[in-house]
Amino acid sequence: GEVPSGDTLHVFVCHLPSRRGGALASARYRSYCCTRLREQVDSLMAQGGERTHCLLLGDFNGDPEEAPTSEALRSRPYTADMAVQDLPPESLLSLLHRKTKQEPPGSYCYQGVWSQLDQAHLTASLLQQRGRLHFVAGSAETICRPFFTTQLSGGGTPVPWRTYGGNFYRGGYSDHFPIRLLLEYE
């Protein structure tokens, strides 16, 4: 919809198919969803004007560098030194790809292995200052606050404090850490 700056922002909140049954076996379902998302982004950006933007966020049930995201969605990692002015405005950029010393090491931990299942992607138009609405560089993060976490026996990095563990209510926040990013307009 239209935001107060006069720009148009299309927001897609995603929950892609589960990895249950194996990440490889279920990848085709996530690829299908990412292909449909990419088609929608391309269509909206082609129909919209210079001040049209798209934001995709949610549980993609895979890391940003996996095929459904990198190939079907055609999203690539955003880096601060990227020449964004040279990109087509409809290019999708991943904001939460793995960083070398990122804390926490992902948004989800399964059997001790961290993944960044919760992702944020935006069109390059939000970085190009084409309108008055834009992404605040460096603001995308996975949020890890003490009240979101629990410590597993054996120590290590605190993990998300799950609401349920199997059929048992544990009272936690979620099995995923939340993500956030900032957009601002002038």
Chain segment 46-85, per-residue pLDDT in tens: 999 889 999 999 999 999 999 898 999 999 999 988 999 9
Distance set, CA 140 to CA 2, 17, 180 (Å): 22, 24, 6
Torsion of CA 32, 120, 173, 155, to 10 degrees: 100
pTM of the entire structure?
A: 0.92
pLDDT at 131: 77
pLDDT at 54: 98
pLDDT class for 100, splitting at 50, 70, 90?
A: low
- What is the percentage of the chain residues whose pLDDT exceeds 70? 97
Q: Let me know the angle formed at the C-alpha of 93 by 87 and 99, rounded to the nearest 5 degrees.
A: 125
Strand partners of residue 8: 2, 52
Residue 34 has pLDDT above 80, yes or no: yes
Q: Average pLDDT, stretch 152-156?
A: 76
- Domain borders along the chain are 8-185
| Rg from Cα positions in the chain | 17
pLDDT at 149: 87
pLDDT class for 130, splitting at 50, 70, 90?
A: confident
Q: How far apart are CA 161 and CA 171, in angstroms?
A: 8
Q: How far apart are CA 110 and CA 95, in angstroms?
A: 22
Q: Average pLDDT, stretch 12-19?
A: 94
Residue 155 has pLDDT above 80, yes or no: no
Q: Average pLDDT, stretch 91-117?
A: 85
pLDDT at 101: 64
